[in-house]
Structure 1
């Protein structure tokens, strides 16, 4: 039996249909917002997965191009691997839901969000995030805390809930907030240098607006929700746990209190070996449990160190940033490089500048068709001293690259200011906390080194959090390192300039963040950002005046848009010939702007001249150097500009009577001609004798020259 429930969000109808489709799923719902429709399916395995020590949740965001009336491009006319946008959306759905499942729940859970229809004013990602929460709440899966998600824009100082496409273009804030009834649990933001107070107010506005959607989900649960299964939660034998803790507590604490990372890691490894050897004979079947107890003991030791002893693992103050060093121009043949080191985290970014034709083509559900600025992030296993197979970028790498791209995007110059495609690649050389924000810093250095005229330098920092079990106590940490990330409760990444914030991404491992935590994190992040920017400015404060000698140069000209077809030619024949003859790259915009890119100024000048000749209007009275293309008994046809030919009548070839055209000119001769007339049909009449001097004039000039 189908059930329908509706509410209003930002003046538009949010509708849920339950029981209409997918009856074999634990829960399948159709959620719609305007004309955007997403199918959500939630299922869980009947039994826990054996031999794992984590919660196996998977979220899939499936884009179907029929949702926007498109047929996929390429040879294979079906959707392939998920797009970058789909991967980012799946990550955004996963992050707020994962902390709300019961501890020890190890059944496989899969959430599949299939986008069926898209109205551009109502984006499917926000709808899918709300739908995923509701599907879990309605299912028998042990998930009982509704999560609501809204988008917020900012136009003329006013917050806009779930902005339309037009509003999004006018807004200088693109904020997504997920919240429970009590706390904010996830934040994503891209913005144009927003100040901290405005950002905090926007987050609180979003939190308040989430409450209506949460109430809607609670109503749906009360009416249609299935009875929740009693989960089989994994729990370690209490006798073994107590025995291991009693034996291991002091050993682990002594190791964890070592300040220097390498020495601490070595001591922890030795402690683990000692503990395992001690219990291996007595509990040979429980070694994984003992390993988990040791991990939990490490976690509680670090957390108590911070909460009780007010001490960080490396001895820093809670607000202190690790030592920073910056360097540029490392690689001789690249267009720009930046090396940023913060503690044991080190990232090198390489900037490459290319023609506008190198933009990334997007085949997705959005209106955006291409990108001229790209940021890619690589995290090889050697960055953490491990050995693993080298494969393509995973979801984490794609997510970190997108975050750094978002942080710098508001600062990238417009196409008019800088007519190039820009690609940044961040190589993580060493990782010990917040490599994504280190890549923002390294990328800024690389852009400045490459001579890209960005608005201002940007930097990023990650804030951490440790809370008591009842959430009544909390400590916010600046510049978290790996150990504080692993054992802490929050990763609050903030990037921006001296003027304001450009990007935020917040993940939590607890049931959400307090308002005070959010406010403190934003304020402390700004202080840290100013400190980092000072270090970066000491290395390179502004873009280089000249591009790298190995970077291509762009030459710009503008033609009448109606002349574009003359430059391109039938089937691209003309433009391809120009490229082949001059070795340049050419990009043509619909408004008639032409970009010619080349490292060879001679080739570029030649290409520009050819294009100018192709598009130049022939004017009566002007003299041209043309080439004879053919002769007839009544005159010679002369090409004066590419594709533009005129007739020199036999009577206009010379000052004396000409009996035969070939007595004066032959095919292939270059001659000066004057345009005498362009008739109503566009035919060009030329004269050779009007373009050259009479014999008596030449003789007089010669005599005058001799007499001087």
Structure 2
């Protein structure tokens, strides 16, 4: 291999190792390291374009290997299976900034595989993988020629921190990923604790500047070691077909696209497509793709020209106008909480479910997080867009949208001490016409409030769009993009937050980057829109309900001495299982002695708590206890004074008078008051009913004397 090349970033070295004897059959194979985190990156491309497709077939896989953190996978098979949700999200994060940088019309299959081989918790492999992917593509023969870099920006005590370490991430109020080229920002991912807009903008600029040394590093490697780039075969439309279809369909398509109502507009567009098919399908039987692509280009040009030059949106709205809003709660009678949010033809129903701490999701991956108690899932069925297709499990898009809404809401979720529940949200997209992920943020907020989750503040989200001229001389940022604007636009800029600040951002672009003006305008306009949405949501429910639903479990927290945990669990779980069987509760115990008791019936929960406290409570000499007689012998009786704790009352201490026979005073099952007189060296408890009776007589005498004294 070539000698290792290194670059110092945030006090740690990025290293690259590659050569002809590494991954010899891949177009490019390289190791990229950051500290002791190592990613293997392989890239390959097909020799010829794929026929019959209208998209660039780029596939990006982010492969986690459990050996990278010294773990053996869980489960029966003991090997890595399907990608974790985090791996899918990291793969998407590599794909999104890379895709626009390939030549337009490129139809060759390109595969990028990032394999995580070693992980040091201070250095995130997902950030490293983006840099490795760009470096590998630059060095390959694939026609990719724009270096891309990625960094993470934290915020601690008002100061930006580049690529924060594990300890710094614990303190950071912001987790901002910035991907940039030499000229512009390509992608933004952010999770934050209500960060103000100006600080977020400064953080993005800070990240852009921090990307530049990494870009220069890649350029140096490319200049020295890069392979000769293959000349791409780019797909172009048949000139004769394009000219004929444009002449026939441009004006009718303009008329159809100027119809404000979505359904009527769709009918008009379908009519144009039908007339084009009737006119040209026999004339150009082998060019159906060219015909449909030309129609697509006409639609795109009409929408873009309307916005950029006519200053008019397809549905007639102002550039900063939100579609009609509606919000409602308690839609479903038996769920723990539900919220319905509607924005134009986009509608999402979110449902909240509260569970015991033991219901938290267990994570089996290479990250530090082993479980989570706040979960958001997102479903996008075919009926939401009026289509018919088989129902499948969640795809990459659904997982990504669910994670974005989860990221937006997570900073507002109360901690375990305040609200000892596992919280699951499910967003069901009922109708989709633009930015369902941000509608999910709004609907989920309503569901959380309806479920009685004491969130910090309500959260709302909005998606901004961008339309530019080919030379990028004109830029128009619009608020609340609908489907057609998302489809034909240059940017999807999603911002979620509260009245106090931003909690999440996700930005994708189809261009070679976004200007600082565009980023600032989108963030500032998103705030105005967000505040407007929050007012509508407040009309549905002003704040979280004071109590959880009657159908939700009631959960209580008690604390016990960690040394007593084994007493509560018992041998082989015998004791805890008995408590659960007798009371019907759910019990979760943490290593620090925190015990969570959950039940539908509060009295059952209290009974379980009484038993647990009894098991863990220490018997104190000199104290009185009401106990139950469990066994009678000739020399006395045994009395259980606390669960699993019993002592002996000798026959001589059973009563104030002499006792000839134990059965004359007590029977098995009787409850009697006893006093602990001694705990011997072997832990045996000696009890006295006689002393307890003496104490009672004394207290009664003192009470009478006090009453007599006060009456005088």
What TM-score, normalized by structure 2, do the two folds share?
Answer: 0.96
* C-alpha deviation, 1:669, in angstroms: 4.4
Distance in 2 (CA, whole Å) between partners of 1:144 and 1:696 is 96
Q: Residues 579 and 585 of structure 1 are in contact (CA less than 8 Å); yes or no, is this contact kept in structure 2?
A: yes
- Residues 543-622 of structure 1: matches in 2 within 5 Å? 543-622=544-623
Residue number in structure 1 paired with 2:482: 481
Residue number in structure 1 paired with 2:461: 460
Residue number in structure 2 paired with 1:153: 154
Q: Residues 448 and 544 of structure 2 are in contact (CA less than 8 Å); yes or no, is this contact kept in structure 1?
A: yes
Does structure 1 residue 329 correspond to structure 2 residue 333? no
Distance in 2 (CA, whole Å) between partners of 1:541 and 1:352 is 20
* C-alpha deviation, 1:663, in angstroms: 5.3
Is 669-678 or 613-622 further displaced after alignment?
669-678
Residue number in structure 2 paired with 1:518: 519
RMSD over equivalenced CA pairs, Å: 1.7
Is 610-619 or 257-266 further displaced after alignment?
610-619
Q: Residues 241 and 290 of structure 1 are in contact (CA less than 8 Å); yes or no, is this contact kept in structure 2?
A: yes
Q: Residues 31 and 39 of structure 1 are in contact (CA less than 8 Å); yes or no, is this contact kept in structure 2?
A: yes
Distance in 1 (CA, whole Å) between partners of 2:534 and 2:485 is 23
Residue number in structure 1 paired with 2:208: 207
* C-alpha deviation, 1:695, in angstroms: 14
* C-alpha deviation, 1:423, in angstroms: 0.6
Does structure 1 residue 536 correspond to structure 2 residue 537? yes
Counterpart of 1:403 in 2: which secondary structure? helix
Does structure 1 residue 420 correspond to structure 2 residue 421? yes
Is 377-386 or 602-611 further displaced after alignment?
602-611
Residue number in structure 2 paired with 1:99: 100
Distance in 1 (CA, whole Å) between partners of 2:452 and 2:632 is 55
Q: Residues 656 and 693 of structure 2 are in contact (CA less than 8 Å); yes or no, is this contact kept in structure 1?
A: no
* C-alpha deviation, 1:628, in angstroms: 3.4
Distance in 2 (CA, whole Å) between partners of 1:645 and 1:453 is 43
* C-alpha deviation, 1:624, in angstroms: 2.4
Counterpart of 1:511 in 2: which secondary structure? coil
Q: Residues 420 and 556 of structure 2 are in contact (CA less than 8 Å); yes or no, is this contact kept in structure 1?
A: no
Q: Residues 463 and 478 of structure 1 are in contact (CA less than 8 Å); yes or no, is this contact kept in structure 2?
A: yes
Residue number in structure 1 paired with 2:672: 671
Q: Residues 49 and 233 of structure 2 are in contact (CA less than 8 Å); yes or no, is this contact kept in structure 1?
A: yes
Distance in 1 (CA, whole Å) between partners of 2:435 and 2:682 is 70
- Deviation per CA, 1:349-398: give whole Å up to 9, x if none: 01111111111011111111111101110000000000010010000000
- Deviation per CA, 1:393-437: give whole Å up to 9, x if none: 000000000000000111111111111111111000000000000
Is 115-124 or 74-83 further displaced after alignment?
74-83
Distance in 1 (CA, whole Å) between partners of 2:549 and 2:183 is 53
Does structure 1 residue 6 correspond to structure 2 residue 6? yes
With over 3 angstroms needed to count, the CA separation of the structure-2 counterparts of 1:385 and 1:568, relative to structure 1, is: same
- Residues 20-169 of structure 1: matches in 2 within 5 Å? 20-169=21-170
- Deviation per CA, 1:639-662: give whole Å up to 9, x if none: 221111212223223445445545
* C-alpha deviation, 1:80, in angstroms: 1.0
Distance in 2 (CA, whole Å) between partners of 1:636 and 1:537 is 65
Q: Residues 197 and 502 of structure 2 are in contact (CA less than 8 Å); yes or no, is this contact kept in structure 1?
A: yes
Q: Residues 438 and 461 of structure 2 are in contact (CA less than 8 Å); yes or no, is this contact kept in structure 1?
A: yes
Counterpart of 2:458 in 1: which secondary structure? coil
Counterpart of 2:426 in 1: which secondary structure? strand
Residue number in structure 1 paired with 2:290: 289
Residue number in structure 2 paired with 1:18: 18
- Residues 173-212 of structure 1: matches in 2 within 5 Å? 173-212=174-213
Counterpart of 2:22 in 1: which secondary structure? coil
* C-alpha deviation, 1:539, in angstroms: 1.6
- Deviation per CA, 1:52-83: give whole Å up to 9, x if none: 11100000000001100011111110111111
Residue number in structure 1 paired with 2:705: none
* C-alpha deviation, 1:693, in angstroms: 6.8
Distance in 2 (CA, whole Å) between partners of 1:620 and 1:576 is 30
Distance in 1 (CA, whole Å) between partners of 2:293 and 2:248 is 15
- Residues 413-452 of structure 1: matches in 2 within 5 Å? 413-452=414-453
Counterpart of 1:691 in 2: which secondary structure? helix
* C-alpha deviation, 1:520, in angstroms: 0.5
Counterpart of 1:146 in 2: which secondary structure? coil
Residue number in structure 1 paired with 2:708: none
Distance in 1 (CA, whole Å) between partners of 2:660 and 2:538 is 79
Name structure 1 gaps, 5 residues minimum.
Answer: 701-708
Distance in 2 (CA, whole Å) between partners of 1:448 and 1:672 is 49
Distance in 1 (CA, whole Å) between partners of 2:661 and 2:464 is 90
- Deviation per CA, 1:210-229: give whole Å up to 9, x if none: 00000000001011110000
- Deviation per CA, 1:539-559: give whole Å up to 9, x if none: 211111122111111122222
Q: Residues 495 and 501 of structure 1 are in contact (CA less than 8 Å); yes or no, is this contact kept in structure 2?
A: yes
Q: Residues 655 and 694 of structure 1 are in contact (CA less than 8 Å); yes or no, is this contact kept in structure 2?
A: no
Name structure 2 gaps, 5 residues minimum.
Answer: 702-712
Residue number in structure 2 paired with 1:706: none
Distance in 2 (CA, whole Å) between partners of 1:591 and 1:61 is 36
Residue number in structure 1 paired with 2:709: none
- Deviation per CA, 1:478-516: give whole Å up to 9, x if none: 000000000000000000001110000000001000110
Does structure 1 residue 354 correspond to structure 2 residue 320? no
* C-alpha deviation, 1:694, in angstroms: 12
What TM-score, normalized by structure 1, do the two folds share?
Answer: 0.96
Distance in 2 (CA, whole Å) between partners of 1:68 and 1:99 is 33
Distance in 2 (CA, whole Å) between partners of 1:207 and 1:23 is 34
Distance in 1 (CA, whole Å) between partners of 2:206 and 2:640 is 69
Q: Residues 153 and 164 of structure 2 are in contact (CA less than 8 Å); yes or no, is this contact kept in structure 1?
A: yes
Residue number in structure 1 paired with 2:710: none
Distance in 2 (CA, whole Å) between partners of 1:218 and 1:695 is 90
